[in-house]
C-alpha cells in the first residue's frame, strides 16, 4: 500500500499523528533541551509503487555543536553514522570531501544547503603591545594572557594557524604567558578582560560575539605572514579580508584572515534522492522562521550557491540540486 500526498486530508489520522510526533520533539527541546542536544532519529516511508510500499528509511539528524558540528561531524556523516548535520565552517566539509587537512581520504559528503554566516578566524592583540603581525608577535615574544576557543573544529583551526607560523599554544606559556580556554566566544570573562586589559590577546572565530568589543578597545588584528598563508592554503584553508560592519572604516589598515564562514547542511551520497529533495523543500517552507547569522532572511538562491558568506566547495546532493533547479534557484 502506498500513500498519495494529494489524497491526504488536513485532519487525517496519519497527518495528525505526524504533527503530534514532531510537536513532541519540539516540546522536549523546550522543556528538557539536554535530551535533544545530540541527535534525533526519524523514520520516513519512502515513496513506493502502486503495488509495493516504499521502505522505511531511518535517518539521524545531528544537533549537538559540541561533538558533531565540526571534524567529528564530517566523519560521522561520511561514515553514515549520522545522516544530516550542520557543519561549521564551510571549509570543514570541503576538506572532508577533498580528503585534505585532518581527513586522510575523501569522504562522500553532499550538501543540502549552506546557511550564510560571515566569520573569520583571527589573532587579536592589545594595542599596548605594539604588535601588528604574526612576525611582530614572534619577534617580541610578549607574555600574554590569551583567550582561545575550545572545541574540535576551532582547536584544530587554531593549531593549524599557529603551526603555519612555527608556533603552538604552548609557545605563549614558554614566553611567560597564560592560555585561557573558553567554550563560547561570548564568554563574559573574555569580554570583561578585553575591556579591562586583563586579556591581552584573543585567538578565535565567532566575531559577532566579541570583535566589536575588541575593535572598541583598539586591539590589533594581526596580519598573517605570506608563508603562513601559503601553508594554510595547502592544508585546505582559504584566506579572506576582514570586512563588514564590524570592521569597515575601523581598522588602521586592511587585514587578511582565515575564512571561517558558512553553515552547510550536509548529508552523504547514499541519502535517497526523494528524501533529500523533500528536506530542501521543508527548509524553504520554514525559511522565514529560521534564525540566521545575517541581518535578514537570505533568499533560497543563497542556500545553493558559493557565496562569500556561505562558501560551498562540495557538490549538492542530486535530490537537493533537482529541487533548486526545478524552482529556478540554480
pLDDT along the chain (330 residues), means of 10: 48 69 76 72 68 72 75 92 91 96 95 94 95 96 94 86 96 96 88 94 94 94 95 92 88 92 95 92 89 85 94 96 97
Rg (CA), the chain: 22
d(CA 86, CA 266): 6
Residues of the chain with pLDDT > 70, as a percent, come to 90
Q: Work out the end-to-end distance of the chain between its first and last CA atoms, rounded to an integer number of angstroms.
A: 35
Condensed to tens digits (0 to 9), the pLDDT of residues 300-317 reads: 999 999 999 999 999 999
Sequence-separated (6 or more) residues with CB below 8 Å from residue 269: 108, 109, 110, 317
* pLDDT tens per residue across span 85-128: 989 899 999 999 999 999 999 999 999 999 999 999 999 999 99
The C-alpha atoms of residue 21 and residue 284 are separated, in whole angstroms, by 21
Domain 120-259 sits in CATH at 3.40.190.10
Say if residues 160 and 205 touch (Cβ distance below 8 Å): no
Nearest-angstrom CA–CA distance, 25 and 149? 31
Domain extents for the chain? 37-117+262-326, 120-259
The owner of cell 516504499 is 54
Q: Could you tell me which of 312, 317, 307, 314 has the C-alpha nearest to residue 278?
A: 317
148 half-sphere exposure, CB direction, 13 A CA radius: 26
CATH of domain 37-117+262-326: 3.40.190.10
Amino acid at each position: 500500500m502506498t500513500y498519495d500526498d494529494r489524497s491526504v486530508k488536513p485532519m487525517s489520522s496519519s497527518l495528525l499523528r505526524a504533527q503530534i510526533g514532531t510537536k513532541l520533539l519540539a516540546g522536549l527541546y523546550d522543556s528538557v533541551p539536554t535530551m535533544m542536544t545530540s541527535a534525533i532519529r526519524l523514520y520516513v516511508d519512502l515513496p513506493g509503487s502502486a503495488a509495493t510500499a516504499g521502505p522505511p528509511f531511518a535517518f539521524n539528524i545531528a544537533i549537538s555543536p559540541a561533538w558533531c558540528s565540526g571534524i567529528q561531524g564530517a566523519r560521522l556523516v561520511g561514515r553514515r553514522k549520522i545522516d544530516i548535520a550542520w557543519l561549521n565552517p564551510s571549509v570543514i566539509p570541503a576538506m572532508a570531501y577533498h580528503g585534505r587537512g585532518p581527513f586522510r581520504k575523501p569522504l562522500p559528503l553532499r550538501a543540502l544547503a549552506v546557511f550564510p554566516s560571515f566569520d573569520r578566524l583571527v589573532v587579536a592583540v592589545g594595542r599596548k603591545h605594539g604588535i601588528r603581525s604574526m612576525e611582530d608577535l614572534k619577534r617580541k615574544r610578549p607574555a600574554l594572557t590569551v583567550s582561545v576557543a575550545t572545541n574540535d573544529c576551532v582547536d584544530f583551526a587554531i593549531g593549524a594557524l599557529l603551526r603555519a607560523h612555527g608556533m603552538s599554544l604552548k609557545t605563549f606559556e614558554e614566553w611567560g604567558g597564560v592560555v585561557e580556554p573558553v567554550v563560547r566566544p561570548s564568554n563574559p570573562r573574555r569580554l570583561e578582560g578585553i575591556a579591562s586589559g586583563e586579556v591581552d590577546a584573543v585567538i578565535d572565530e565567532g566575531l559577532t560575539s566579541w570583535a566589536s568589543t575588541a575593535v572598541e578597545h583598539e586591539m590589533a588584528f594581526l596580519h598573517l605572514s605570506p608563508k603562513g598563508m601559503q601553508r594554510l592554503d595547502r592544508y585546505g584553508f582559504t584566506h579572506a579580508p576582514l570586512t563588514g560592519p564590524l570592521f569597515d572604516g575601523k581598522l588602521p589598515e586592511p587585514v587578511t584572515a582565515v575564512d571561517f564562514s558558512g553553515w552547510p547542511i550536509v548529508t552523504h551520497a547514499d541519502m535517497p534522492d526523494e528524501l533529500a529533495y523533500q528536506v530542501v523543500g521543508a527548509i524553504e517552507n520554514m525559511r522565514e522562521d529560521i534564525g540566521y547569522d545575517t541581518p535578514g532572511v537570505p533568499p533560497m538562491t543563497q542556500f545553493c550557491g558559493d557565496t562569500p558568506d556561505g562558501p560551498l566547495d562540495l557538490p549538492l546532493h542530486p535530490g537537493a540540486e533537482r529541487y533548486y533547479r526545478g524552482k529556478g534557484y540554480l
